[in-house]
């Protein structure tokens, strides 16, 4: 809901989850205490959400979920997944076109690779954590951002993407003891 977003502070507070049951959608508490958290948003996300909120206001949907149907109801998972597949298809066409144009011009193609056609939203969650850790961000901070109860869980899942700092450790030890 819109009250979960603090636009001035640039944060999102996770305080509820939505599940689909046989009876329909149910809003409930997150599974664990660590699932309830506040996440800082990048400025570009705040900008996109600000524009989206203005459009929702225009459509009279401010009381509806942040992402909803035109009538203000929760989105069906299958429809969201179908929209993601469309975005992936379009993005992959652009990657292919760019590579073909580069090849035709005799320029080495960029390293851009097509996205997997069966990419899931959960894969995006994993990619987010993997990118943060591979760039040297704190395991503890990434664990909290994901809502893990213990950084050990994050470490077990993402140890393969952590940077190998062994050479830097040796150099630091050399500076300390030299």
How confident is the model over 140-156, as pLDDT tens digits? 888 888 888 888 888 88
Condensed to tens digits (0 to 9), the pLDDT of residues 89-103 reads 998 888 787 777 777
Between the two ends of the chain, the Cα-to-Cα distance in Å is 57
State the CB neighbour count (10 A cutoff) for residue 129: 20
Domain range list for the chain:
1-70, 76-117, 120-178
Tokens representing 115? 């996205």
Residues 6, 120: Cα–Cα separation, whole Å: 28
pTM score: 0.71
Higher pLDDT, 42 or 157: 42
- Dihedral over Cα of 90, 119, 18, 4: its sign: negative
């Amino acid at each position: 809901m819109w009250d979960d977003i603090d636009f001035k502070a640039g944060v999102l507070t996770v305080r509820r989850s939505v599940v689909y049951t046989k009876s329909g959608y149910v809003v409930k508490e997150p599974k664990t205490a660590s699932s309830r958290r506040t996440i800082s948003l990048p400025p570009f996300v705040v900008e996109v959400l600000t524009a989206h909120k203005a459009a929702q206001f225009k459509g009279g949907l401010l009381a509806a979920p942040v992402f909803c149907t035109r009538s203000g109801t929760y989105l069906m998972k299958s429809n969201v997944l179908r929209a993601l597949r469309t975005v992936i298809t379009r993005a992959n066409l652009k990657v292919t076109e760019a590579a073909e144009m580069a090849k035709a011009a005799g320029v080495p193609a960029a390293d851009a690779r097509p996205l997997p056609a069966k990419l899931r939203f959960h894969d995006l969650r994993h990619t987010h954590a993997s990118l943060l850790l591979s760039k040297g961000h704190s395991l503890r901070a990434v664990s909290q951002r994901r809502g893990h109860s213990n950084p050990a869980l994050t470490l077990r899942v993402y140890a393969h993407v952590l940077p190998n700092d062994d050479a830097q450790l040796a150099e630091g030890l050399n500076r300390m003891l030299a």
